[in-house]
């Protein structure tokens, strides 16, 4: 398995590489400079070189230690060690003492310029024409200016990389959070849709089973009819459940609305079939659906939302007020929109208060309907008191042309 380094590991790795490079540079400068030294001067130089190499391992915590050792070396033998020390100052640019230290280094080079140590020469110019001032200027540029600017450039590049890493980490964290949020929203949507689709069919199944129990002695024809209704409802519920689980197993986005593709059309005629199912299962449902709006070609999202609202209203009535009459009223026009109301009497006061659909709903049905109405531009309200429970909704009036596109009414 491939392992990815975290920010701390990357910083530690970069620090080790930097330490190795400092040691290589100091070793190379030591070899070049030591070849021209002899006796005690060589011994002192080697001691200072070793001390400088050791100080590079502490350059982050004590950056001025490198400058001190390099300054002592410049006074005794060579100026060249000031270059890595000043470079380290540029990398640690956040110190307010850097300008003062750089000024001291420039003064130090002026102090030792009479030693005639030329680290840089200009081809074609005689030494007596540009030294000692020319030698000092060139040494300042080569030993202090260029290393310090290079250190600043490295520091700026590190800041840029740190910023890019932080932005990448933030983007990754945001992407992960959005993915998790999308999963939660998809789960909530599936739960809400499954509640709408399966809850209604299971409530019909419960009501049909109750009818069979009540009519057990009514004769074989009645029993057979009730059994057929139960079988039909159970098969439809199982088919819907298989579709949902099959989509989840395949890793697809569950489009539970597709389960209604054969029943929900671009008009309100599917509401009449929905009510007929409840009536056939033994419920008493009165439907008021004017012919003027029943067969209007409405937008599919509007008819689906209307279907779901009526379906949930019937489900609540079958579950919490079985045997009581239910009224379903739909009306509308382009100015007022589509008006929906599903009303049923509240069970008598002798019944348990838990019978109220508003109090016992699972928490998914009515909130899901409110969200569905909001998405299409409408609103849903719930009326619940001691006499009646009602779902009321107002949805926009959106019609479609023959190609299914939205058109002005």
Domains and CATH numbers, the chain: 7-172 (no CATH), 262-409 (3.30.565.10)
Q: pTM of the prediction?
A: 0.50
CB 352 within 8 A of CB 361: no
CA distance 45 to 77: 7
CA distance 31 to 385: 97
Residue 61 has pLDDT above 80, yes or no: no
Query: What's the confidence (pLDDT) of residue 401?
Result: 58
Scan for tokens 């838990």, then name that residue: 354
Residue 306 has pLDDT above 80, yes or no: yes
Query: What's the confidence (pLDDT) of residue 380?
Result: 92
CB 346 within 8 A of CB 386: yes
Q: 230-287: per-residue pLDDT in tens? A: 777 677 777 767 766 666 665 555 555 555 555 566 678 888 888 888 887 778 889 9
Which region holds residue 4: left if phi is over 0, alpha if psi is between -120 and 50, else beta? Answer: beta
Q: 33-51: per-residue pLDDT in tens? A: 777 777 787 888 788 888 8
CA distance 5 to 109: 44
CB 347 within 8 A of CB 323: no
Query: What's the confidence (pLDDT) of residue 407?
Result: 55
Task: Give the distance, in angstroms, between the CA of residue 190 and the centroid of all CA atoms in the same chain.
Answer: 20
Alpha helices, DSSP H only, in 35-97?
39-56, 63-76, 82-91
CA distance 136 to 395: 86
Strand residue runs (E) in 82-159:
none
Query: What's the confidence (pLDDT) of residue 349?
Result: 42
Between 246 and 144, the higher pLDDT residue: 144
């Amino acid at each position: 398995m491939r392992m990815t380094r975290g920010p701390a590991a990357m910083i530690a790795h970069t620090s080790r590489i930097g330490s190795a490079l400092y040691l290589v540079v100091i070793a190379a400068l030591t070899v070049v400079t030591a070849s021209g030294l002899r006796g005690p001067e060589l011994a002192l130089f080697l001691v200072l070189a070793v001390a400088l190499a050791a100080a590079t391992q502490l350059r982050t915590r004590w950056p001025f230690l490198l400058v001190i050792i390099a300054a002592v070396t410049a006074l005794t033998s060579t100026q060249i060690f000031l270059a890595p020390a000043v470079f380290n100052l540029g990398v640690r640019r956040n110190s307010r003492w850097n300008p003062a230290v750089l000024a001291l280094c420039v003064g130090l080079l002026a102090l030792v310029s009479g030693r005639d140590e030329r680290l840089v020469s200009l081809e074609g110019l005689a030494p007596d024409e540009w030294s000692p001032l020319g030698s000092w200027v060139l040494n300042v540029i080569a030993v202090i200016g260029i290393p310090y600017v290079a250190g600043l450039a490295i520091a700026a590049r590190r800041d840029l990389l740190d910023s890019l890493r932080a932005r990448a980490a933030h983007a990754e964290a945001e992407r992960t959070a959005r993915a998790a949020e999308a999963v939660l929203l998809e789960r909530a949507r599936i739960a809400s849709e499954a509640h709408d689709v399966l809850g209604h069919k299971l409530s019909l199944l419960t009501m049909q089973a109750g009818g069979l129990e009540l009519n057990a002695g009514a004769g074989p024809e009645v029993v057979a009819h009730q059994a057929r209704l139960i079988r039909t409802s159970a098969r439809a519920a199982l088919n819907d459940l298989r579709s949902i689980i099959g989509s989840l197993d395949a890793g697809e986005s569950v489009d539970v609305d597709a389960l209604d593709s054969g029943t929900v059309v671009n008009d309100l005629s599917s509401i009449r079939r929905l009510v007929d199912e409840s009536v056939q299962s033994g419920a008493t449902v009165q439907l008021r659906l004017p012919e003027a709006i029943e067969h209007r070609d409405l937008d599919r999202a509007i008819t689906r939302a209307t279907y779901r609202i009526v379906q949930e209203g019937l489900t609540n009535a079958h579950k919490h007020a079985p045997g009581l009459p239910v009224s379903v009223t739909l009306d509308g026009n382009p100015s007022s929109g589509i008006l929906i109301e599903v009303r049923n009497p509240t069970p008598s006061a002798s019944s348990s208060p838990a019978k109220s659909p508003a109090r016992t709903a699972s928490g998914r049905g009515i909130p899901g309907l409110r969200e569905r109405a909001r998405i299409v531009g409408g609103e849903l309200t719930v009326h619940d008191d001691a006499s009646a429970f009602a779902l009321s909704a107002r949805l926009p009036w959106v019609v479609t042309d023959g190609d299914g596109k939205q058109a002005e009414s």
